[in-house]
């Protein structure tokens, strides 16, 4: 056996998708720490803002959320395959959700306030029974929560666009503290905002659970037709729905009509859900073609996906080190296009580090912690049982 996927029995597609997701997250987050998105090369900045809006904003998050739900569906499937019952699964999910909340809160307070992990944990903790809900219940709940989720995201998008037009993008730069101790103190109240984010992750999370039941990414070769249709349909929809907002962000066109800005934002963020799922389906389709013999880059990208929580936090540590006043303080020195270069470098280095960890047999430290805290340690009597 030459690959980690084969030796561990892991499915390639979910890990590949999580690895790609980290690139999109880096592209979405890096500009959020700059003081200005305008440099001496306006054309380059406009191109970067166009790409940011079309590909990353509220689409990377949708992919992240869908894959989280898919992972919960995989966990439930493995639990039942080992003969586990619902009370055991419920306890496992609740332990896992509590630790996700704790990790997310620590991330927000000690690193940067852009956490999604605690929101996942809260969503799972509050809605654990939905993991075993009927398909009909999953569908209706996802549809009903999609409305407030889209409106909340659109409200953020409108404010962001107004900031771009005013030459003062809504970023963290204006709220950065001069010292790390003050930074930590200022972030102590940020975890409370995670509750508002729960409604924004529920639609994608529940669709991920639904997809996992059908093993779309676990057995992509058996679902080529569905994955192909999903990829083409959802990515086309995302392109059509997100293009107006991308053109607006790049300054190709302008409108002072608030109702039109809201329409553009709603279309952008609603089809962002479609785009995130479509990207996951595209990775599933690609993995079906790759088969059981992934190449070097594919193996390395999957290794990154297997350690996605660890490297998600690593990204935040990089942003803290580069952009804050008490570190290198590059927030005024880097353009939005430059931040994309930094994001690309961070992603490439992450892939290389993950591959090194795979070759040396090291799991991601945060994945190890989460697993140890989620699964109860066997007692002496249980350990002696056959």
Output the six-digit token pair for 236: 């086309």
Tracing tokens 């083409």 back to the chain, one arrives at 232
Q: CA nearest 286: which of 6, 2, 15?
A: 15
How large is the angle between the packed helices 258-290 and 60-81, nearest 10 degrees? 50
Range of the domain at 267: 6-376
Tens of pLDDT, residue by residue over 116-137, are 999 999 999 999 999 999 999 9
Cβ atoms < 10 Å from Cβ of 226? 16
- What pLDDT score does 4 carry? 40
In a domain, 141, yes or no: yes
- What pLDDT score does 105 carry? 96
- What pLDDT score does 1 carry? 31
In a domain, 382, yes or no: no
179: left (phi over 0), alpha (psi -120 to 50) or beta: beta
Q: How many residues does the chain have?
A: 386
- What pLDDT score does 379 carry? 44
In a domain, 384, yes or no: no
Q: CA nearest 116: which of 51, 58, 54, 169?
A: 58
Low-confidence ranges of the chain (pLDDT < 70): 1-9, 40, 377-386
In a domain, 211, yes or no: yes
Pseudo-torsion of CA 286, 287, 292, 295, nearest 10°?
Answer: 70
- What pLDDT score does 151 carry? 94
In a domain, 153, yes or no: yes
In a domain, 381, yes or no: no
- What pLDDT score does 386 carry? 33
- What pLDDT score does 3 carry? 38
- What pLDDT score does 282 carry? 97
Q: CA nearest 364: which of 297, 296, 306, 298?
A: 306
In a domain, 270, yes or no: yes
Report how many domains make up the chain: 1
In a domain, 385, yes or no: no
Tens of pLDDT, residue by residue over 131-178, are 999 999 999 999 999 999 999 999 999 988 888 777 778 899 999 999
């Amino acid at each position: 056996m030459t690959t980690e996927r084969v030796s561990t029995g892991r499915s390639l597609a979910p890990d590949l998708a999580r690895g790609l997701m980290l690139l999109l997250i880096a592209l979405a987050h890096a500009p959020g720490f700059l003081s200005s998105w305008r440099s001496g090369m306006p054309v380059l900045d406009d191109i970067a803002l166009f790409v940011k809006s079309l590909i990353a904003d509220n689409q990377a998050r949708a992919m992240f959320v869908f894959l989280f739900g898919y992972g919960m569906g995989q966990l439930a499937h493995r639990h039942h395959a080992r003969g586990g019952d619902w009370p055991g699964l419920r306890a496992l999910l609740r332990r896992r959700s509590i630790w996700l909340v704790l990790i997310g809160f620590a991330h927000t307070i000690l690193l940067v306030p852009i956490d999604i992990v605690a929101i996942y944990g809260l969503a799972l903790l509050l809605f654990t029974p939905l993991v075993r809900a009927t398909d009909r219940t999953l569908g209706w709940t996802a549809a009903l929560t999609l409305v407030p989720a889209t409106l909340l995201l659109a409200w953020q998008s409108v404010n962001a666009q107004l900031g771009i037009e005013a030459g003062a993008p809504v970023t963290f730069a204006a709220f950065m503290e001069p010292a790390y101790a003050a930074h930590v103190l200022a972030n102590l109240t940020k975890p409370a905002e995670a509750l508002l984010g729960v409604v924004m992750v529920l639609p994608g999370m529940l669709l991920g659970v639904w997809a996992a039941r059908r093993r779309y990414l676990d057995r992509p070769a058996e679902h080529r037709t569905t994955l192909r249709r999903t990829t083409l349909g959802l990515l086309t929809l995302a392109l059509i729905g997100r293009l107006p907002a991308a053109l607006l962000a790049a300054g190709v066109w302008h409108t002072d009509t608030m109702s039109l800005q809201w329409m553009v934002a709603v279309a952008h963020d609603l089809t962002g859900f479609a785009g995130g799922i479509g990207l996951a389906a595209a990775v599933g389709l690609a993995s079906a073609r790759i088969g059981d013999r992934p190449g070097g880059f594919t193996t390395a990208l999957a290794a990154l996906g297997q350690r996605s929580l660890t490297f998600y936090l690593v990204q935040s540590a990089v942003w803290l080190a580069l952009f804050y006043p008490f570190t290198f303080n590059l927030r005024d020195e880097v353009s939005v296009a430059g931040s994309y270069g930094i994001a690309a470098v961070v992603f490439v280095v992450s892939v290389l580090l993950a591959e090194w960890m795979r070759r040396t047999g090291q799991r991601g430290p945060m994945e190890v912690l989460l697993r140890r805290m989620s699964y109860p340690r066997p007692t002496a009597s249980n350990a002696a049982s056959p």
